[in-house]
Amino acid sequence: MQVGAAVAEILKREGVDILFGYPRNAVLEHAAAAGIRTVIVRQERTGLHMADALSRLTRGERMGVFAMQHGPGTENAYGGVAQAYSESIPVLVLPQGYARRIAFVPDNYNASIQMRDIAKTAEPLTAGAETVNVMRRAFTALRNGRLRPAIVELPWDVLKEDVPEPLDYTPVVRTRSAPDPDAVAVAARMLVKAKRLVIHVGQGVHWANAYDELKQLAELLAAPVSTTLAGKSAFNETHELALGAGGAATPGPLRHFHDKADLIFGIGCSFSETAFGPRIPQGKKIIHATLDPADLNKSLRCEHALVGDAKLTLAMLVEACSDLIKEPRTTATVAREIKKVEKAWLAEWLPLLTSEDAPLSPFRVLWDLQKTVDIDNTIITHDAGSPRDQLTPYWKSTTPLSYIGWGKTTQLGYGLGLAMGAKLACPDKLCINVWGDAAIGFTGMDLETAARERIPILSILLNNSAMAIELDQMPVATERFRSTDISGDYAALARALGCHSERVTRPDDIVPAIRRGIEATLAGKPALVEFITAKETRASRI
C-alpha cells in the first residue's frame, strides 16, 4: 500500500466520508478510489470553509478535511486555515508539498513551516513508514483539547512510497477533563450569592453538547443567558431568560444586563477582546470556565476560574448549586425585565425592520426572511460587515447549531462555504447564507460548485451597490474616484452558474421571492435571491 492509499484508508477509519479539495493532490484520487466523496471547489478558501462547517455541524464526528496542491494552492488556502484557527475549529489540512530534496528551498512554499502559527499542529510526512504515526498525532490533536486545525504536509515524492502492511491504525481516543471539585464548590457559592448574575455562553457549549445542562443551571439560578456569536443557538433565544447574542451589533437586553451585572459567568468562551465581539464592561466580577487555561486573564481579569469540558463543568455546577439553594427560584422577575428592555429596544428598530421603502431596507429583508422560514429546521450564517450586524441581534435561534456564528478575523465570503458545508452535514435542513455585494466578489464563483455538486443552499444577497460600511471612512476617495462603488447583476451571474435566481426591488415581493428560492432548494437546486437595498450603515452598537 502506498502513502496516498494509506492516508485515504485512515480517513475512512476516522469516519471521513467527504474530502474537499483542489487538484493536484494525489490523495484526492486515492480517496475517490476508497469511496470517499471528493468535492472540488473553485478556490481553496471555500473548500476550507466547507470543511469548517462540516466539523462544526457534526461536532467533529465527520471531520472536515481539505487537500490541495503544493505551492500556489497551499498559498491560496492560508486565509481559510487562519479563519478556522481563530474560530477554534478542527479541520485536517493535507497540503501536497514539494519533494523532500527541495522542500526547504526558500522560494518553495513549505506549509508545515509557513502555516505553523495558524495550526494546532503542523508536520510534514517525511517517510512512508511514518504515515500511521503522523496521522495518529494529527487526529489526536483534532479530537482533544482546544480544537484547531492540524496540518499534515505530504511531499509529492513521499506519496508513492510504501507503507508497512497490514495498516496498523485504529481511530484515536477522545478525552474530556473536568474542573477541580473544590473550585466548583467555590464557583457555586459565588453563583448562588450573586444578585445580578449573567451567564455568558461561547461555542464550547456546542462542542460539548451541553445544552441541557446549560438550561438546567440557568433555570435553577433564574439567571439570564447571553451568547457570543459563535455560541449563538446554544440557548433557545425564545426562552424567557434569553438575552441574545453579542457581537459588533448587540441586542438591547444583552447590553442592559451586562452593564448591571454584579457577576458574569462565562462558560465555553474565551473572553477574547476583538472588534467584533460583545463589549464586556471593565471591572465586572467574572468567573471564567473554559477548556483552555491560556484564555484565563487574557483580555479580562477573572475572579475565579474553572478549567474543563463545558458539559462536565455545567453538570458539576448544577449539582453543587442545587445543594445550596433551599427553595426554588422564580424566573418571573428577570423575565419581565428582559421583556420590558427588549420591547423598548426593538421599538427603535421596528421602522427599519418593517420599512416599506425602496430601495429596500436590509433589515426588512432579513426580518421577513425570519418570518418566512421554518426556524427550527433552518441553519443560517452571515457574512462579515453589515449583513452580520443586520442579522444577529434580531434573528432568534431556537435549536442547537442552527446558527453558524463567527467574527474574529471576519473574512469576506466565508458564509457561502459555511452554508454549503452545513447542507452536506444536515441535508434535511434549509441552509442559508446572508452576504453582501462585497462578499460575493470574493467567493461567488463557488455558486457553480453548489450547482455542480448538487448542494441546494439558499443565498440571500443584499446589494446596495457600494462598500457601504466604508463610506464614512473614505469620503474623499468616494467623492473623487468613486472608490467605494461596486455593483453587478448578481442574479444573472448565479443563473449563469446553474442556480435558481431572481432580483427583488419592491417590499411586497420579498416574501414571495424567498418562498420561490426555498422551493428551488427543495427541488435540489441552489438558489440566490438578490435584494436591491439602501446604503444602510446603522447598527445596534450600544
Render pLDDT for 189-224 as a digit per residue (tens, 0 to 9): 999 999 999 999 999 999 999 999 999 999 999 999
Render pLDDT for 13-61 as a digit per residue (tens, 0 to 9): 999 999 999 999 999 999 999 999 999 999 999 999 999 999 999 999 9
Radius of gyration over every alpha carbon of the chain, rounded to an integer in angstroms: 24
Render pLDDT for 231-263 as a digit per residue (tens, 0 to 9): 999 999 999 999 999 998 999 999 999 999 999
Per-residue confidence at 155, pLDDT binned at 50, 70, 90?
A: very high
Q: Residue 277 has what pLDDT?
A: 80
- The answer for residues whose C-beta is within 8 angstroms of residue 444's C-beta and 6 or more apart is 413, 416, 490, 493, 494
HSE, side-chain direction, 13 A CA sphere, residue 332: 2
CA–CA separation, 419 and 37 (whole Å): 18
The predicted model gives 120-143 an average pLDDT of: 98
Residue 276 clears pLDDT 90, i.e. is over it: no
Render pLDDT for 390-436 as a digit per residue (tens, 0 to 9): 999 999 999 999 999 998 877 899 999 999 999 999 999 999 999 99
Render pLDDT for 71-106 as a digit per residue (tens, 0 to 9): 999 999 999 999 999 999 999 999 999 999 999 999
Cell readout for 56 is 462544526
Cα 246 to the chain's mean position, in Å? 14
Looking at this protein, which amino acid is placed at residue 160?
Answer: K
Helix count and strand count (H, E) for the chain: 20, 18
The edge-to-edge listing of strands for the beta sheet with 378-382 is 403-404, 378-382, 430-436, 458-463, 527-532, 500-504
The angle that helices 252-260 and 332-353 make with each other, rounded to 10 degrees, is 140
Cis before 95? omega within 30: no
Q: Which helix (H) or strand (E) holds 20?
A: strand 18-22
Number of residues that this document lists for the chain: 542
Q: Residue 101 has what pLDDT?
A: 95
Q: Residue 427 has what pLDDT?
A: 98
- The answer for residues whose C-beta is within 8 angstroms of residue 297's C-beta and 6 or more apart is none
Q: Residue 507 has what pLDDT?
A: 98
User: Looking at residue 90, what DSSP letter applies?
Assistant: -
HEC per residue, 298-333:
CCCCCCEEEECCHHHHHHHHHHHHHHHCCCCCCCHH
Q: 176 φ, ψ to 5°?
A: -135, 150
Cell readout for 518 is 426555498
Cβ neighbours of 479 (radius 10 Å): 10
User: Looking at residue 264, what DSSP letter applies?
Assistant: E
Residue 3 clears pLDDT 90, i.e. is over it: yes
Q: Are 241 and 254 in contact, with CB atoms under 8 Å apart? A: no
- Does the predicted model carry a pTM greater than 0.95? yes
Domains of the chain: 3-155 (3.40.50.970), 181-338 (3.40.50.1220), 354-532 (3.40.50.970)
Per-residue confidence at 274, pLDDT binned at 50, 70, 90?
A: confident
CA–CA separation, 238 and 46 (whole Å): 33
The angle that helices 414-425 and 44-57 make with each other, rounded to 10 degrees, is 40
Render pLDDT for 508-533 as a digit per residue (tens, 0 to 9): 999 999 999 999 999 999 999 999 99
CA–CA separation, 71 and 59 (whole Å): 31
The predicted model gives 118-134 an average pLDDT of: 97
The predicted model gives 148-175 an average pLDDT of: 96
Render pLDDT for 341-385 as a digit per residue (tens, 0 to 9): 999 999 999 999 999 999 999 999 999 999 999 999 999 999 998
Q: Are 466 and 532 in contact, with CB atoms under 8 Å apart? A: no
